[in-house]
Structure 1
Amino acid sequence: MTAAMISWGKGRRAAAAIGAVSLGLVTLSACEKPTDLATVTVGSTTVTAEATPGCNGDGKLLSKKQVETCITKNGGKTVTVQSGDKVRVGVAPEVAKSGWIVIGGGPVMREASHETYRSFDADTLFMQQNPQTGQTTYTRSVTLQVAELGKGQGPKTMWHFNLKQKD
């Protein structure tokens, strides 16, 4: 009788262990790889964000339609900036390896960067140039778009941050 109880106890433990391993594998298979993060720092304020929803190509170039939609998207985390501040934008090393650019009201970077961060003068980010008149005006807020580039220089991931001038 004792032998039967011992084997039954071992069987329950074995069944529990198999069940735990199976549940763990099911849970892991349901997980998605998190997107890389982009970070904006102004003074002592830092905000970090995952890719903007609908703007992550999972390692592939975004389609033309996705890019058009992503460029017009507003949203993202907001950072308050005052005149004279430096705005620092950082990306993960994997993003830096691919190359990345920052777009504000207009192109902020002329060429892709392979560094993990870049600094920008806040006043420059709020400048808007009218293409018809060539006049420069200043805006009170701007959506800063960070784009990871793929081969062919099209974006494969985009992040959005809102910069607002301090009153």
Structure 2
Amino acid sequence: MTAFSSWGTGRRAAAALGAVSLGLVTLSACEKPTPLATVTAGKDTVTAEAACYDDGKVLGDLASTDKKAQAGFTKCLTTEPKKTITVHPGEKLRLGVEPDVAEDGWIALSNSSPITNMSKQTYQVVPNADQLFVNQQTRSLADSTVVSVVASKGGKYTGVWNVKLKRAES
């Protein structure tokens, strides 16, 4: 009877060891998630994953005259946003990044123009989001626009997050 009992215990121990090993293999195969950017308008919030990000490594130079570096940055800015948020007339737009991103600095752009100052804070506010929908050339209101959060380290970009803003009907 004891032989049968120790055989069952050994089998359970082997199964437990196998489960632990499988769990460790599964965990080691996981990639570290990218930091997120958060955009809030009114009571609605969206959280976006990066369009371009490589664990905080420099992806390109914002002031570069190198055509390849400019093309890479432009590609990041023009990546189609996966998240959309509706903005009502007169609403504030609140932008947030994770502390690791804020540590080196970040700025928000709309149509490649700055809408915030470079900051090392995790949170910035655009007091009136209506201005983001104005086409400066035609002075007309667009139905949507894209806000890009750009992480920077010493003038070189390290990440870009894009969120589409949709203008609510008045």
* Structure-2-length-normalised TM-score: 0.84
In the other structure, the counterpart of 2:79 is 73
Distance 1:11 1:76 in 2: 50
The amino acid across from 1:77 in the alignment is K
Aligned residue number for residue 122 of structure 1: 129
> Which residue in the other structure is 1:112 paired with?
118
Separation in structure 1 between the aligned mates of residue 58 and residue 134 of structure 2, nearest angstrom = 29
Encode CA deviations 1:16-70: one digit per residue, 9 max, x unaligned. 1210111111110111111111111111111111112xx1122211142432211
**Offset, 1:136:** 5.0
Tell me the equivalent position of 2:92. 86
Q: How does 1:22-33 map to 2 (within 5 A)?
A: 22-33=21-32
| CA distance in 2 between partners of 1:6 and 1:115 (Å) | 62
- Percent identity between the two aligned chains: 49
Paired amino acid for 2:88: Q
Provide the aligned length of Structure 1 versus Structure 2.
Answer: 158
Pick the aligned partner of 1:59 from 56, 60, 63. 56
Aligned residue type for 2:27: L
CA distance in 2, matches of 1:143, 1:76: 11
2:149 alignment partner, SS class: strand
Q: Secondary structure at the match of 2:35?
A: coil
* Distance across 2 between alignment mates of 1:159 and 1:76: 10
SS of 1:70's equivalent? helix
Secondary structure of 1:19's match?
helix
Q: SS in structure 1 opposite 2:47? A: strand
Q: Which runs of 5+ in 1 are unaligned?
A: none
Amino acid at match of 2:94: R
1:165 aligns with 2:164: no
Question: C-alpha distance in 1, partners of 2:164/2:74?
Answer: 18
- Equivalents in 2 of 1:153, 1:76: separation in Å? 26
Q: For the residues of structure 1 that align with 2:131 and 2:156, how far apart are their CA atoms?
A: 25
**Match of residue 102 from structure 1:** 108
Shift of 1:158: 1.1
User: TM-score w.r.t. structure 1 length?
Assistant: 0.85
Residue 154 of structure 1 is matched in structure 2 by 156
Q: Where in structure 1 do 4 or more consecutive aligned residues deviate above 3 Å?
A: 127-130, 135-138
